Amino acid sequence: MSELSPIGGDFLSLLAAHQISPICGQKSQSAPVETQATTVFAFHFRDGVLMAGDRRATAGNIIVTDHVEKIIEVDACSLLAIAGVPAMAFEMARVLQSSFEHYRRSQLQPLSLPAKVRALARLLRENLPLTMQGVGIVAPLFAGLDQAMKQPVAQIYFYDPLGAQFQAVGFAASGSGAQTIRSVLSFQERFGNPKPSEFDLREAVRFALRLLIVASEFDSATGGVNQDTNSFATLKTLDSQGVQDIDAAQQSEILMS
């Protein structure tokens, strides 16, 4: 017992101390470069939550496509934003959609927001072997309505790749362009007038598009927004009425106004 006491209850640290790996497989040097989806973010505005993502997917220095839908409507009052390996993230989204719908039909009521948040955390933990190998990393964002409250309020959660969950007070971002976006959101929330949390829908959409434009200037993996080629973001809002999609035509009109 004395040999184990410095480690305490940290099982992974115990394995590392004895040079034991919990993962049998190892990433091969000849393995193909996995596709990555970036960048996504969410913030509170006056009426609810706006969740946004660029539409670029990359593999190393290769642009795979500029037509990825990274914001997924899991059910009528939940949104999932994917960052990381799309193959794993899309599968997680499908599992959540089936799980939430099965519960709603079998129990005749929707799953609670805390249960939904934990369901995604469990999927991330089950993906631990691929995460530890660096070939299946997913770091998503989740937004959902807390329907247990008298007046349903949209909440934002972010996760680390191992499944730890955190509630975001004002905003969250993930993916390769996240650092730039978090910096701008933090500055605007502290010193802006109005603050993002005070924006109406049009102001929130315009701000989200400008965030992606700025992020794309500092990160080649972020697709940004290009009106000349009609390339816009995936934008969805979540409020007490549910999910609303902001399509390319609406984005163009708002950005030009």
Distance, CA of 209 to chain centre = 17
Query: What would the two tokens of residue 137 be?
Result: 């990393």
**CA torsion angle for 56, 58, 62, 65 (degrees, to 10)?**
-40
Give phi and psi for 223, each to the nearest 5.
Answer: -70, -30
pLDDT, residue 28, reads 47
Residue 35 a catalytic site member: no
**Catalytic site residue from 35, 38, 131, 180:** 38
- Beta strand 62-65 with 165-168 is unpaired
Burial 210-231 (b: 16+ CB within 10 A, else e): ebbbbbbeebebbbbbeeeeeb
Closest CA to 113 of 96, 88, 128: 96
Q: Does the domain made of 33-256 have the CATH classification 3.30.1280.10?
A: no
What's the pLDDT at 132?
79
Split the chain (257 residues) into runs of 10 and give each run's mean pLDDT.
Answer: 43 57 45 62 97 90 86 95 89 91 88 94 88 83 88 93 92 94 96 95 97 92 82 94 94 91
What residue segments make up the domains of the chain, in order of their start? 33-256
- CB contact at 8 A, 208 and 232: no
CA angle 76, 81, 84 (to 5 degrees): 150
